[in-house]
Amino acid sequence: MSIVVTAATGALGRLVVGELLNRLPADEVAVVVRDKEKAADLAERGVEVRVADYDDAEALAGAFRAGDRVLLISGNEVGRRVEQHTAVLEAARAAGVAQFAYTGILGGPEADFDLAADHRGTEQAILDSGIPYTFLRNGWYHENYTRNLPAVLEHGAVVANAGGGRVASAARADYAAAAAEVLTGEGHLNRVYELSGDTAWSFTEYAATLSAHTGREIAYEEVTAGEHLTILTGAGVPAPFAAVLVDVDAAIARGRLAGTSGDLARLIGRPTTPVAEAIGAALA
């Protein structure tokens, strides 16, 4: 039996594996990756590397063992993820895994925006399968915003069509710690966790925090959905992804990413990372 992490060389996956290696011997951890070379450093540490692609049912059939505890980190091909995730699920079910944890999205069935559709469909497939599950409904990452700081600083503005909506984001590392907890701890089977930061912030507050950190005047520039779409595509963002971002902002305006259940802090045993701390780290 192993703790198995899929997409383990991605940004979240590497953090989860790191958390697991802080808790367990390396020979109790396995990873499922597309590219074996990208996981060479993990193999050197004693982690078992299993090669499989979400689109390769034959390879997936050999990716899991009876009794494994599995974390399925959601794919990034929006619109194809239910099919891909179901292939992973079927392979895990056939192998007889003991736990199937999935990184969904905050709100689950109540998340009514386009990006959430694949997550809703995946959760339903997991429920229908009868496999022991844990739903990790992750809210937004601080990094979704801090990675865009160069453009924000260049233009002196945070641009969004989110109105006065609030975002209860947390650090990616916080979500990774929560995943490691449910994979190594007890009492998490057939449980749903709504994971988010302890405090929800507005874009006006985010801009003010940036101003305080940089000593520059950074404003929140609220735009319409159409204006935002034009800005994003003009900056080179592919139109389909730009539309997803605009739709997410509209969901934020409706309060869909503002929930603060406290589940994340309870799982990791500490307060979640404040957005101001993430901004400071990114600027440094």
The number of CA neighbours under 13 Å toward the Cβ of 256 is 22
Co-location of 215 and 100 in the same domain: no
CA distance 133 to 108: 14
Co-location of 144 and 279 in the same domain: yes
Co-location of 111 and 158 in the same domain: no
226: containing domain: 140-170+196-258+274-284
Number of domains observed in the structure of the chain: 2
Q: Give the residue among 238, 182, 171 at the shortest CA–CA distance from 70.
A: 182
CB 30 within 8 A of CB 23: no
Q: Give a yes or no: residue 267 inside a domain.
A: no
Q: What is the pLDDT of residue 78?
A: 83
Q: State pLDDT tens for residues 167-188.
A: 999 999 999 999 999 999 999 9
Co-location of 109 and 165 in the same domain: no
Contacts of 179 (CB under 8 A, 6+ apart): 12, 16, 19, 71, 101, 103, 136
Q: Give a yes or no: residue 185 inside a domain.
A: no
Q: What is the pLDDT of residue 107?
A: 96
Co-location of 145 and 92 in the same domain: no
Co-location of 87 and 219 in the same domain: no
Dihedral in degrees, nearest 10, Cα atoms 139, 115, 281, 38: 110
Q: Give a yes or no: residue 120 inside a domain.
A: yes
Co-location of 86 and 208 in the same domain: no
Per-residue burial over 243-266, b if 16 or more Cβ lie within 10 Å, else e, is bbbbbbbbbbbeebbbbbbebbbe
Co-location of 159 and 253 in the same domain: yes
Q: Give a yes or no: residue 225 inside a domain.
A: yes
Tell me the CA distances in angstroms from 232 to 46, 74, 116, 152, 171, one per residue in order: 43, 25, 21, 13, 24
pLDDT truncated to tens, each residue of the chain (284 aa)?
Answer: 899 999 999 999 999 999 999 999 999 999 999 999 999 999 999 999 999 999 999 999 999 999 999 999 998 888 789 999 999 999 999 999 999 999 999 999 999 999 999 999 999 999 999 999 999 999 999 999 999 999 999 999 999 999 999 999 999 999 999 999 999 999 999 999 999 999 999 999 999 999 999 999 999 999 999 999 999 999 999 999 999 999 999 999 999 999 999 999 999 999 999 999 999 999 99
Q: What is the pLDDT of residue 10?
A: 96
Q: Give a yes or no: residue 281 inside a domain.
A: yes
Q: Give a yes or no: residue 178 inside a domain.
A: no
Dihedral in degrees, nearest 10, Cα atoms 76, 81, 84, 89: 110
3-class state of residue 189 by DSSP: coil
Q: How many CB atoms lie within 10 A of CB 284?
A: 6
CA distance 140 to 158: 17
CA distance 142 to 201: 11
Q: Give a yes or no: residue 189 inside a domain.
A: no
Co-location of 122 and 146 in the same domain: no
CATH number at residue 40: 3.40.50.720
Q: What is the pLDDT of residue 1?
A: 81
Co-location of 164 and 247 in the same domain: yes
Residue 34 per-residue DSSP state? S
Q: State pLDDT tens for residues 47-66.
A: 999 999 999 999 999 999 99
Q: Give a yes or no: residue 182 inside a domain.
A: no
Co-location of 80 and 147 in the same domain: no
Co-location of 165 and 133 in the same domain: no
Q: What is the pLDDT of residue 76?
A: 82
CB 170 within 8 A of CB 141: yes
Q: Which pair of structure tokens corresponds to residue 207?
A: 């801009």
CATH number at residue 215: 3.90.25.10
